[in-house]
Amino acid sequence: MKNRIIITNIQRMCFHDGPGIRTTVFLKGCTLRCPWCSNPENLSPLPEDYEKDGIHGVYGREYTADELVKMVLKDRDFWGTEGGVTFSGGEALMQTEALEDVFRELKNRGVHLAVETALFVPEGLLEKAMSYIDDFIVDVKILESSLCREVLGGNLELYLRNVSRLYESGRLKLFRVPCCREYTFSERNRELLMSFFQKYTGIPVQIFAIHSLGEKKYQSLGRAMWKVEELGWEALETYCRELQQAGILAEVIRI
Ligand code: SF4
């Protein structure tokens, strides 16, 4: 529905969601169901009731395009010459239709726009977003088609077409890999990741360990969180060196 934008959070002074200092808008709704997801409040596209420490609330607030534009522009003085607004989620591109007026208005005002996306979205939504968004930060997860469908609920072929389209456009600026011992960090997936990154040489890669910091949010929604076995820094560093030795611009980050 046009102009009905559902947001769970607007985070200011972000340094890792694109160039410069940024305001990051967290949108509700996701096309995937990653077992390790640490943002359960962003999975459903609709507002959801929660209870935390005896206090009741709602995850998700509805904004009009005008309200959202006004809200983020309050931060303009902090962005400097490089910063701007990043849309994240959930799957930020799921609300592309509703956000189009926001994208257009911010672009008209010269604001740099970025999106963090898992990219499992219909091609039409990506094309529309590409008319406005400067930089795309793209997750890379399970690269085996059947496992991707079974574990994440995603269509890998669609994802790969979207990655290729973005790469050709020059707007694919960064890959991010959430490292999960059972799936994305399995030996087989690491082999697939290596070939994948070699195909897209020149695009930097950030790797990070999944964590259980979302546990309280699961509790507040009355759900149990998947048991996360966090990978140690050393394992990530070793993997990062393997990628670097293969000519990939990799680094380990904490998220
Ligand atoms: S893509 Fe992100 S928000 Fe969606 S389920 Fe996976 S981890 Fe959660």
- H-helix or E-strand containing 100? helix 96-108
Closest protein CA for atom 6 of ligand 1: 34
Ligand 1: atom nearest CA of 33 is: 5
Distance CA 255, CA 209 (A): 8
Look at residue 2 in the predicted model and tell me its pLDDT. 53
> Whole-model pTM?
0.96
Over residues 41-82, the pLDDT tens digits come to 999 999 999 999 999 999 999 999 999 999 999 999 999 999
What stretches in the chain show pLDDT beneath 50? 1
Over residues 124-135, the pLDDT tens digits come to 999 999 999 999
Look at residue 1 in the predicted model and tell me its pLDDT. 41
Residues in the ligand 1 pocket, defined by CB under 6 Å: 30, 32-34, 37, 39, 42-43, 89-91, 118
| DSSP assignments along 47-60, one per residue | -EEEEETTEEEEE-
Distance CA 22, CA 86 (A): 7
Q: Which residues 6+ apart lie within 8 Å of 70 measured at CB?
A: none
- Three-state SS across 183-227? CCCCHHHHHHHHHHHHHCCCCCEEEEECCCCCHHHHHHCCCCCCC
Tokens of 115: 């999106």
Could you give the C-alpha distances from 19 to 73, 133, 203, in angstroms and in order?
Answer: 17, 13, 15
Ligand 1 pocket test: pick from 28, 38, 42 the residue with the most ligand atoms within 8 Å of its Cβ: 42
CA pseudo-torsion sign 106, 107, 110, 113: positive
All structural domains of the chain? 5-252 (3.20.20.70)
Question: Closest Cα to residue 193, out of 163, 233, 170, 149?
Answer: 163
